[in-house]
Structure formats: C-alpha cells, structure tokens
Amino acid sequence: MTNNRNDNVNTRNLVVDILLAVTRDGEFSHIAIRDVLDKYRYLPKQDRAFITRLSQGTLERMIELDAIINQFSKTKVKKMKPVIAAILRSGVYQLKYMDSVPDSAACNEAVKLTVKRGFSGLKGFVNGVMRNIARNLDQIKLPDADKEPEKYLSVRYSVPEWIVARFIRQYGKEACEKSLEAFLQPHPTSVQVDTDRISMEEITASLQAQGITVTQNPEIKRALFLSGYEALDEIEEFENGLLYVQDTASMLAVEMAAPKPGDTVIDVCAAPGGKSVYAARMIGETGHVESRDLTEYKVAMIEDNIERCQLSNMTAKVWDATEFDASAEEKADVVIADLPCSGLGVIGTKTDIKYNASEEKIQELAALQQEILQVVCRYVKPDGTLLYSTCTMTKEENEENVHKFLETHTEFELEQMRQCFPYEGCDGFFMAKMHRK
C-alpha cells in the first residue's frame, strides 16, 4: 500500500503532507487532498483510495485521536512538533479505524516516517506511544458521559465542545447526539434528475449498467441516491447535465417555495446554482430564473452549470446581495435567499467547518443575513414568495432571524418553517417560506 514507481512514493508520507497543509497552513482539506491526488495521478486506484480515506478519516476524527494520544503520551499533542502530531494522528487512525492495516505496519511505518522527516531523535518516542496505544486500544477511556456529557460527546464524535454545548442548549441532548452520529456516517450522493430529458427508469437502468448503486430518494420524485462509483466526472449523465448533485434538503427548500410554470425567480446568493437549476426545471420554458452571486468566479460556476444542464430559461449575473438593485424591484414571483451561514449543518461533508467556526462568526453571519433580507425582500411582487434558507443549525441564523425580519416587515407573513436535522437523511438545513401580502 505504500509505494509505486521505483518505491519512491510513500502514501503515508503524502497523508502527512495533507494533514500539515490543513492543520498547520490553514488549507481547506478537500483542496489539500485534491492537490496531492492531482500530482500523483499515476498511483494505482487502491493507493489513491488509501490516501483519501486516511487523510479524511484522520481529520474527521482528530479530536478523538488527540484524546487517545494524550492518554498515552507524556508530551501532549498541543506541545508536539506539527509533523510528529500528524504522524501519530494518522498512525492511531489506522490502529483504530483501518482493519486492513496490521497494527505492526501502522507502528513501523510511523517510526519510518519520523526518520524520513528528519526527526530520528524522536523515533523511540513515536514507537513507544504507537505500541502502547496498539496494546491498549480496548482500554481507552472516554470522558464520563454522566458527569461531563458535553466533553464525552465532543471526544466520542470529534466535534468541538462549544458546538456540542450549543446544539444541546438549542435542540436538546437527543437531537444533538443523533446529529453528531449522523455527521460521521458515510452518505450516498444525492442527485436531482432532469426528467424533461430522461425518465427515472431510463437513467436508473443506465447507471446500474455502469455498476453504480442507485436508490430512489423517498422524499423527492425526481431525485436519486448514488454510491459505489469512482469519480462523478467520469459518469456521462453527470457530464451532460442529466444529473446534478444536490442535497435532499436543498431540493425540499425549492419545493417549499413552489415556483410555478411561467414564474420569474431571482436567486440572490446562488453559486454554484443547484436551487436555481431545480427552480428552472419547475417553471418550464415560459418562466425565467436569474441566478446571482458576488464574484465573477462564482458566477462562472453558475454559467458552467447552466451550460451543462442545457437550460435556456436561466441566466447568471454578478451582483452583491447587500446592494439594492432598482431594476429588480417587485419583479420576482419567487426570491430565493439561501444566504451565507456558519454551515454547522454540513459538518458531515465539510469537516473543516467544525474547526473553523466560532461564536463571533455566527453573530456576524446572522447580522449579514438580516442585512441581505432587508434588501432582497423588495424584489418580491405583491402575492409573491420569499424563501429564506441556510445549511446551518443555529437559532440566531434561522428562526430568530425570520422573526426579526417579520417584526420589521409587516407586509410579509410566515407560511411554513422547517429545521431539518442530519439524522433525517439530509443535511442540517433550515428553510422558511414567507408570503408578501
């Protein structure tokens, strides 16, 4: 599992590079992993899968791994050199979570890496810690669940304690634990299907013929769950826009907004454009979706998706949602405001969020959301709909923001509101439908 091309590529060493890029240099994990896999494209499939699994798993379980290392090491992880911390974290992940790796291999490779990285003097230390953990894996103590429930859940599910405390305070202990557990479950890819161009039966048969596992989404008629494929961009139906990756909750939000054939829809923070694409397919050729975002880069992503999905009733535009656009005043039957948020509902697919979020950022984002809502509500026609949504689980950004908005905008009334939780088979996601009287 370790070498290729003259034995000069050590996969575990590449994983240490990825871990350092994320934990020391502040790189996003998906970018760090992608950069390494792009550079070593020639590696065999199982080596690439090993690199992905070990780096993602180590980052996902890092709080638990640190707690384990700290039980068996006199030097705590915080005091270690970043390289040694990365070697030990990835080593302990292999011991605890990768049955395919013998304990002896995990220990020996950690020692070899320590030497390879120029820390020969610490090879005895690394060897001692790794072998001690390997011998005592079933003796590891978690914090006491009754005496320190927040600390226990934090270590068990590798989520910072302040987020655990927040979830318990706002949603109760049961919803908190079920959500944390769901974040760690592997989930299939959720896709919407362009049923105007292909039937659900045809696309299911075609995907299954390619060896892909396909199941119908029970909540949404035109959506499927896929698993067991190598890369999305190697699936022809994805490349030609018959499939679009989108979480169930995101599709449910558009369905809550219920755009009708012929409607004008403005999506104000749209990139990469999933909700716009879904709305465009609901409103037909007589309607129009204008999909906006802040930068040329984001709008280029939307335009790529318009082209790939072959949508003639959707256009993209660079626009700052905090700036009022007089040309759009009272022009939209539906305004979709899926606004920048803390993202605590998508920790399961975006591990970095749990390490980078903070209470300050939550408050800043809630204020930004309020500022944008004050502007974009003016684009809704009388008798039109304002859909507000986020992919987070904080009351400040969700229910409280809706109530604050309605207090100052009596021309709107709340029709529906829903907080989705990760254990419901979708992202943690909030949606509220408001009607302009």
Give the pLDDT confidence of 41-58 residue by residue, as tens digits: 999 989 999 999 999 999
Residues 282 and 376 in one domain: yes
Residue 275 among known ligand-binding residues = yes
Mean pLDDT of 133-150: 95
Pair of tokens at residue 130:
């790794």
Within 8 A by CB and 6+ apart from 437, the residues are 382, 383, 411, 412, 413
* 45 and 131 together in one domain: yes
CATH assignment at residue 16: 1.10.940.10
- Bigger pLDDT: 423 or 231? 423
Structure tokens at 278: 């879904």
Q: Is 320 annotated as a binding residue?
A: yes
Q: Are 352 and 326 in contact (CB under 8 A)?
A: no
In 3D, which of 309, 320, 307, 255 has the Cα closest to residue 283?
A: 255
334 and 291 within one domain: yes
**Helix axes of 45-60 and 82-97: crossing angle, nearest 10 degrees:** 110
Residue 341 assigned to a binding site: no
20 domain residue, yes or no: yes
Domain span at residue 273 reads 248-436
Tell whether residue 273 is among the known ligand binding residues.
yes
Euclidean distance between CA atoms 293 and 25, whole angstroms: 28
Question: Is 420 marked active-site?
Answer: no
Residue at 144 is within a domain: no
Q: Is residue 338 annotated as involved in ligand binding?
A: yes
Q: Do 356 and 234 have their domain in common?
A: no
The conformation of residue 116, written as its DSSP 8-state character, comes to H
Q: Are residues 25 and 107 in the same domain?
A: yes
> In one letter, which amino acid is 254?
V
Averaged pLDDT of the chain: 95
User: In this predicted structure, what is the pLDDT of residue 234?
Assistant: 87
Is the overall model pTM greater than 0.85, yes or no? yes
For the cut 80, the answer to whether the pLDDT of residue 5 exceeds it is: no
Distance from C-alpha of 8 to C-alpha of 74, rounded to nearest angstrom: 34
Residue 9: per-residue pLDDT: 83
Closest CA to 269 of 378, 434, 387: 387
Among 220, 245, 270, the domain boundary falls at 245
Q: Are residues 257 and 376 in the same domain?
A: yes
Final residue before a domain boundary, out of 245, 263, 285: 245
Active-site annotation holder among 107, 341, 391, 426:
391
Query: How many domains is the chain partitioned into structurally?
Result: 4
- Does a structural domain hold residue 233? yes
Q: What is the pLDDT of residue 149?
A: 96
Tell me, what CATH number does 193's domain have?
Answer: 3.30.70.1170
Residue 351 shares a structural domain with residue 262:
yes
Do 160 and 108 reside in the same domain of the chain? no
Of the candidates 217, 243, 213, 247, which has an alpha carbon nearest to the alpha carbon of residue 229? 213
428 and 372, same structural domain? Answer: yes
pLDDT tens track for 407-433: 999 999 999 999 999 999 999 999 999
Distance (Å, rounded) from C-alpha 252 to C-alpha 425? 12
Q: Is 90 exceeded by the pLDDT of residue 396?
A: yes
Judge whether 326 is annotated as a binding position. no
Q: What is the CATH number of the domain that holds 280?
A: 3.40.50.150
Q: Return the ∠ at Cα 410 (arms to 409 and 416), rounded to 5°.
A: 90
pLDDT bucket at 238, cuts 50 / 70 / 90 = very high
| 2 domain-assigned | no
Q: List pLDDT tens digits, range 255-269.
A: 999 999 999 999 999
Do 135 and 66 have their domain in common? yes
Q: Cα(291)–Cα(319) distance, rounded to whole angstroms?
A: 9
- Among 245, 270, 285, residue at a domain's last position: 245
Question: Is the CB of residue 221 less than 8 Å from the CB of residue 399?
Answer: no
pLDDT digits (tens, 9 = 90+) for 22-36: 999 999 999 999 999
Would you call 192 helix, strand, or coil by DSSP? strand
Q: Is 271 annotated as a binding residue?
A: yes
Going by pLDDT thresholds of 50, 70 and 90, the confidence category of residue 1 is very low
269 is an annotated ligand-binding site residue: yes
Confirm whether 75 is domain-assigned: yes
Sign of the four-CA dihedral 43, 45, 51, 56:
positive
Residue percentage of the chain with pLDDT more than 70: 98
Alpha carbons 397 and 198: distance in angstroms, whole number: 38
- Which whole number is the average pLDDT over 278-298? 97
User: What band does 181 get if pLDDT is binned at 50, 70 and 90?
Assistant: very high
pLDDT in tens, 309-325: 999 999 999 999 999 99
Residue 268 in domain: yes
Find out whether 409 and 388 touch, Cβ atoms under 8 Å: no
> What is residue 380's predicted lDDT score, i.e. its pLDDT?
98
